[in-house]
Amino acid sequence: MMVHLFGGDATTAERSKELLGGKGSNLAEMASIGLPVPPGFTITTDVCTAYYANGEQFPAGLVEQVTAGIAHIEGITGKIFGDAADPLLVSVRSGARVSMPGMMDTVLNLGLNDRTVVGLAEASGDARFAWDSYRRFVQMYADVVMGLDHAEFEEALEIAKEDRGFYLDTDMSAEDWQALVAEYQAIVERETGAPFPQEPKDQLWGAVGAVFASWESDRAKVYRRLNSIPAEWGTAVNVQAMVFGNMGDTSATGVAFTRDPATGERAWYGEWLINAQGEDVVAGIRTPQYLTKAARERAGAKPLSMEEAMPETFVELGQVFDRLEGHYRDMQDIEFTVERGKLWMLQTRSGKRTAKAALKIAVDMAAEKLITEEEAVGRVDPGALDQLLHPTLDPKAPRDVLTKGLPASPGAASGKIMFDADSAEKAAAMGEAVILVRVETSPEDIHGMHAAKGILTARGGMTSHAAVVARGMGRPCVSGAGGLSIDGNARVLRVAGRELREGDILTLDGSTGEVMAGEVPTLLPELVGDFGTLMVWADKVRRMKVRANAETPADAQVARDFGAEGIGLCRTEHMFFDAARITAVREMILAENEDGRRVALAKLLPEQRGDFAGIFRVMAGLPVTIRLLDPPLHEFLPTREEDFAVVAEAAGVGIEALKARANELHEFNPMLGHRGCRLGVTYPEIYEMQARAIFEAACDVAAETGAAPIPEVMIPLVATRREFDLMKAVVDAQAKAVFAEKGREIAYLVGTMIELPRAALMAGEIAETAEFFSFGTNDLTQTTIGISRDDAGRFLTQYVDKGIFLTDPFVSLDVEGVGQLIEIAADRGRKTRPDVKLGICGEHGGDAPSIHFCEKTGLDYVSASPYRVPIARLAAAQAAL
């Protein structure tokens, strides 16, 4: 069947959105539950697909089925299509499976011509209405079907009103409209060389063809590509009897939501216009009126609300809202028309809503017993919660916007401008709120980024170092703000003809990319109210644990407040960038031999112990995965002359010798160079110090609080079992020694990151000694695809645009490729060691589709940045549903 009917007993039993499109499916559904829907029919999406497969020919038999469809409408309405006395008019509406901008706009009042317009005037007893409908039709048909520029028509209308001294369309009389129709038809004839089509059947097929053609329009294609919508889906076409909201003061048209889409409040929310048709409400020609009296009064508006102007129809509309919500069990977005006091429903669908509204509606509907708690958990998009999890700018506060960059990491922050990481850290240590402003950032800036409340860069995209690190840290970041000129030496920032200096206050909105002068007050997020309730429900269905990536007590605390059940990744190198320690770190790296290194490491031991103790106190009783030193050593090397001098003095060596040693450490491909456990293999004393610091801190905190953390010591970048075994021996030896010294034993695990393809393949063997695996999917993606994360920005967007990757594989796990390695490693690891603990700690641990994959693979936990913990909790719950 190519055509499905709706309206009356003939309403199709078919409901598939794949076949009928969203609009058609819901029209049939509304008709079947007895709501007042003007009769009509839907031409299926299959016909669209066949049309293109056939070299843009309508399939055989379609004409007959459409003719039968028109007869169905004629039967119910008692009007005849093309009849000169009382003509049937229809609308032709496109309708894909998902609502899609770029598709053809609707044509209303189709079936009017120079003869039927006279019949319509007589049958309705309202000539003004008939000619108003006709001028709308000619303009829409010319615009939408014939592709003529609608500006010319708008202009003709403006001139017509001006000539008559009118302001509103509603001032125009029947004769005025009639004169305009003649002008419109003249425009069509001039532009196309042919008169406006008079035959209603030709008009109908013209409109149907235009809907199909719009499926392959450039706009539609771009939208499909950006939203991963396959071309094979096609669009449906809905042909429906017209009902008229433009028949005078007892007629109207409107749009409504069954609940407030911004706040989720249980109050009808909408707009309507008396004596208007279709798009008038949203077109902005006249200011729409409020639906309810309460909303009108709140806004202090004069024109009567529908509740006041049409009280009976309003009550009826409210009953329909309740029916629809009860039936669809979700908030609905509705279009309706009132024709001479009679209510008609023209569309319903699930309403789009803000994250805040989504939470409130889900929780309220569960309380109303409209849906179950589990369904409520499934109703909220985890990604959308991001909006609610960062400090936001007070929307009421004034903003002095200087420029706009990319919204690289959400949230808002105000603080004093600092132009380098060290100054940022110093100012933060003195209790100042700081915004770090750089041309771009590098790993050396990490301590400054951490100390800052927000980060602003002039260069770099959404995956630049600044953007990725800031997102990981939960710091708001605006990147690539091209309008900035930064003079780091003079310590001035020029933008929009203004100059700001170090210490001046700047505000960033990482959710919009706005950069503002001065302080704009912010509001803090909290997991209370509906958010808190939904989280409790989510935790009931969740199987996987959720941990956080954190390396400071403050971040660990945020993670705990957001419900983290441990730390999945504590990167120890971030602790080394601290200004107080970097000199000792550099001393260690640049030392000529083990003795020199041990001297420097001895200075670092108490610092590291303090770091771990701080985190363990927050995480007492919970697992804390600590990754031993991982990055290439050169990341810590001094670059500035004065830094070399400081290190030389501390180490008691000459500057030149130091520089020579730094040169020796140069690597061509540091990400695949001397890093990860390779550092531990060559300099075991580094891992020794770190292991000792971990166990001493764990024993101390256990003694202090009575609750021991569960350290999970993680060896990075392992490729072979032998590497792992050597490092495990170093860790175990320290544990034994510390426990003997402290007279206390602490349960701990030693495991490895799986971030190299070889490690994934050899997981069976590695699991003989490794007690847990943590999938480091950032590096695993990098090493599997062979794309450098730090350089991918230059081409990755094109790769996504051209459909090579559906999404950025560093944002959403490449389940097909990289995912296989994870499955292999999980399988082989479990075969050797059935209780091997499995988790994921890459950026993907906070990404909903990646979390679904983790659930499917049976991982024990995911680990996300602290501010993404609630998102991960919800996504993990949904994955388990």
Catalogue the active-site residues.
Answer: 465, 841
Q: Which does 566 bind (CB under 5 to 8 A by kind): Mg ion, ligand ADP, none?
A: none
The first and second tokens of residue 409, run together, are 């990491």
- Coil, strand or helix at 335: strand
The first and second tokens of residue 542, run together, are 């969740």
Report 578-607 residues binding Mg ion (CB under 5 A). none
For residue 234, the minimal CB distance to ligand ADP (Å) is 16
Q: Which does 776 bind (CB under 5 to 8 A by kind): ligand ADP, Mg ion, none?
A: Mg ion
Q: Alpha-carbon dihedral of residues 78, 82, 87, 92, nearest 10 degrees?
A: 90
For residue 477, the minimal CB distance to ligand ADP (Å) is 37
Q: Which does 288 bind (CB under 5 to 8 A by kind): ligand ADP, Mg ion, none?
A: none
Q: Which stretch binds Mg ion (CB under 5 A): 280-288, 370-378, 769-777, 807-815?
A: 769-777
For residue 74, the minimal CB distance to ligand ADP (Å) is 15
CB-nearer residue toward ligand ADP: 306 or 851: 306
Q: Which does 859 bind (CB under 5 to 8 A by kind): ligand ADP, Mg ion, none?
A: none
CB-nearer residue toward ligand ADP: 279 or 771: 279
- Number of residues counted as binding Mg ion (CB under 5 A): 4
CB-nearer residue toward ligand ADP: 257 or 853: 257
CB-nearer residue toward ligand ADP: 10 or 160: 10
For residue 278, the minimal CB distance to Mg ion (Å) is 9
Name, in order, each residue with C-beta under 8 angstroms of 184's C-beta and a sequence gap of 6 or more. 135, 138, 139, 142, 153, 156, 196
Q: Which stretch binds Mg ion (CB under 5 A): 38-46, 176-184, 551-559, 755-763?
A: 755-763
For residue 779, the minimal CB distance to Mg ion (Å) is 4
Q: Alpha-carbon dihedral of residues 190, 220, 282, 326, nearest 10 degrees?
A: 140
Q: Give alpha helix (H) positions in 708-792.
A: 721-742, 757-761, 763-766, 777-785
d(CA 418, CA 429): 13
d(CA 706, CA 75): 82
Which amino acid, 612?
Answer: F
Q: Which does 278 bind (CB under 5 to 8 A by kind): Mg ion, ligand ADP, none?
A: ligand ADP
Specify whether the CB–CB gap between 412 and 506 falls below 8 A: no
776 touches Mg ion by CB under 5 A? yes
- 340 φ, ψ to 5°? 45, 55
Query: How many Cβ atoms from other residues are within 10 Å of residue 506's Cβ?
Result: 25
Edge-to-edge strand list for the sheet holding 485-487:
485-487, 492-495, 498-501
26 touches Mg ion by CB under 5 A? no
CB-nearer residue toward ligand ADP: 273 or 466: 273
Q: Which stretch binds Mg ion (CB under 5 A): 141-149, 280-288, 349-357, 748-756?
A: 748-756
Q: Alpha-carbon dihedral of residues 32, 37, 38, 40, nearest 10 degrees?
A: -40
Specify whether the CB–CB gap between 644 and 616 falls below 8 A: no
Q: Which stretch binds Mg ion (CB under 5 A): 112-120, 545-553, 736-744, 775-783?
A: 775-783
Q: Which does 30 bind (CB under 5 to 8 A by kind): Mg ion, ligand ADP, none?
A: none
779 touches Mg ion by CB under 5 A? yes
- Which run of H or of E encompasses 824? helix 818-832
Report 345-404 residues binding Mg ion (CB under 5 A). 347
For residue 211, the minimal CB distance to ligand ADP (Å) is 10
CB-nearer residue toward Mg ion: 347 or 557: 347
Q: Which does 108 bind (CB under 5 to 8 A by kind): ligand ADP, Mg ion, none?
A: ligand ADP
Q: Which stretch binds Mg ion (CB under 5 A): 155-163, 704-712, 760-768, 777-785?
A: 777-785
CB-nearer residue toward Mg ion: 27 or 389: 27
784 touches Mg ion by CB under 5 A? no
Q: Where are the beta strands (DSSP E) in 286-366?
A: 289-290, 332-339, 342-350
Specify whether the CB–CB gap between 223 and 102 falls below 8 A: yes
- 57 φ, ψ to 5°? -115, 140
For residue 716, the minimal CB distance to Mg ion (Å) is 6
For residue 140, the minimal CB distance to ligand ADP (Å) is 10
Q: Which stretch binds Mg ion (CB under 5 A): 370-378, 469-477, 756-764, 768-776?
A: 768-776
Q: Which does 14 bind (CB under 5 to 8 A by kind): ligand ADP, Mg ion, none?
A: none
Q: Which does 106 bind (CB under 5 to 8 A by kind): ligand ADP, Mg ion, none?
A: ligand ADP
Q: Which residue is nearest to Mg ion (CB)?
A: 779
d(CA 593, CA 689): 16
d(CA 241, CA 225): 34
For residue 776, the minimal CB distance to Mg ion (Å) is 4
CB-nearer residue toward ligand ADP: 203 or 463: 203
For residue 278, the minimal CB distance to ligand ADP (Å) is 3
333 touches Mg ion by CB under 5 A? no
CB-nearer residue toward ligand ADP: 117 or 243: 243
Q: Which does 779 bind (CB under 5 to 8 A by kind): ligand ADP, Mg ion, none?
A: Mg ion
Which amino acid, 258?
Answer: T
CB-nearer residue toward ligand ADP: 335 or 555: 335
Q: Where are the beta strands (DSSP E) in 264-350?
A: 269-274, 289-290, 332-339, 342-350
Q: Which does 235 bind (CB under 5 to 8 A by kind): ligand ADP, Mg ion, none?
A: none
Residue ranges that bind ligand ADP, judged by CB under 6 A: 38, 91, 93, 106, 108, 240-243, 278-279, 335, 337, 346-347
CB-nearer residue toward ligand ADP: 91 or 203: 91
- 669 φ, ψ to 5°? -135, 75
Which residue is associated with the tokens 């100054």?
Answer: 423
CB-nearer residue toward Mg ion: 259 or 675: 675
For residue 813, the minimal CB distance to ligand ADP (Å) is 35
DSSP 144: I
Specify whether the CB–CB gap between 12 and 45 falls below 8 A: no
Q: Which long-range contacts (CB under 8 A, 24 or more apart) does 484-491 make?
A: 484/403, 484/405, 484/437, 484/456, 484/458, 484/515, 485/458, 486/419, 486/437, 486/438, 486/439, 486/458, 488/419, 488/420, 488/438, 488/439, 491/419
Query: How many Cβ atoms from other residues are within 10 Å of residue 55's Cβ?
Result: 6
Q: Classify residue 175 as exposed, middle or buried by CB count within 10 Å of its CB (0-12, 13-18, 19+).
A: exposed
For residue 108, the minimal CB distance to Mg ion (Å) is 11
d(CA 527, CA 670): 41
Residues binding Mg ion (CB under 5 A): 347, 755, 776, 779
